[in-house]
Copies of this chain bind each other. A is one copy, B any other.
Amino acid sequence: MVRVLVDVLLKDEILDPQGQAVERALPALGFTGVRGVRVGKHVELEVDDGDDLEARVARMANELLCNPVIERFTYRVERG
C-alpha cells in the first residue's frame, strides 16, 4: 500500500466564494498581506501499489473525487 494525497481545487477561472470569504475574514483577525485564497478538498487514501497506480489514481479523481468540468486535481504519492 502507498499513501496517495489528492488535492482538488476549483479551476482558476471559476469563482471561489469560500476562498473569498476566507480572504475577507483574515484582515479582521489581524492577518494582512494575504491574497489569492482558494479553498478545495484534500483526500488521503491508501492504495495498492502497482505499475498502473498513476492511471488508477487519475481515474478515481476524475470519476469520484472531483468534478472535472469545474475542478482540477493534483496528487502526490508517499512511499514507505
Q: Which residues of A contact B (CB under 8 A)?
A: 1, 3, 5, 7-9, 19, 22-23, 25-26, 29, 31-48, 56, 59-60, 63-65
Q: Give Cα A47 to B32, complex, Å.
A: 9
CA A5 – CA B8 in complex, angstroms? 12
Contact of A42 among B40, B45, B60, B64 (CB under 8 A): B40
In the complex, the count of this chain's copies comes to 2
User: Among B5, B38, B64, B65, which residue has its beta carbon within 8 angstroms of that of A43?
Assistant: B38
The 7 closest A-B pairs by CB, nearest first: A33-B48, A42-B42, A36-B46, A7-B42, A40-B42, A38-B44, A37-B45
Given the known interface contacts A22-B65, A56-B31, the answer about A39 and B36 at a Cβ–Cβ threshold of 8 Å is: no
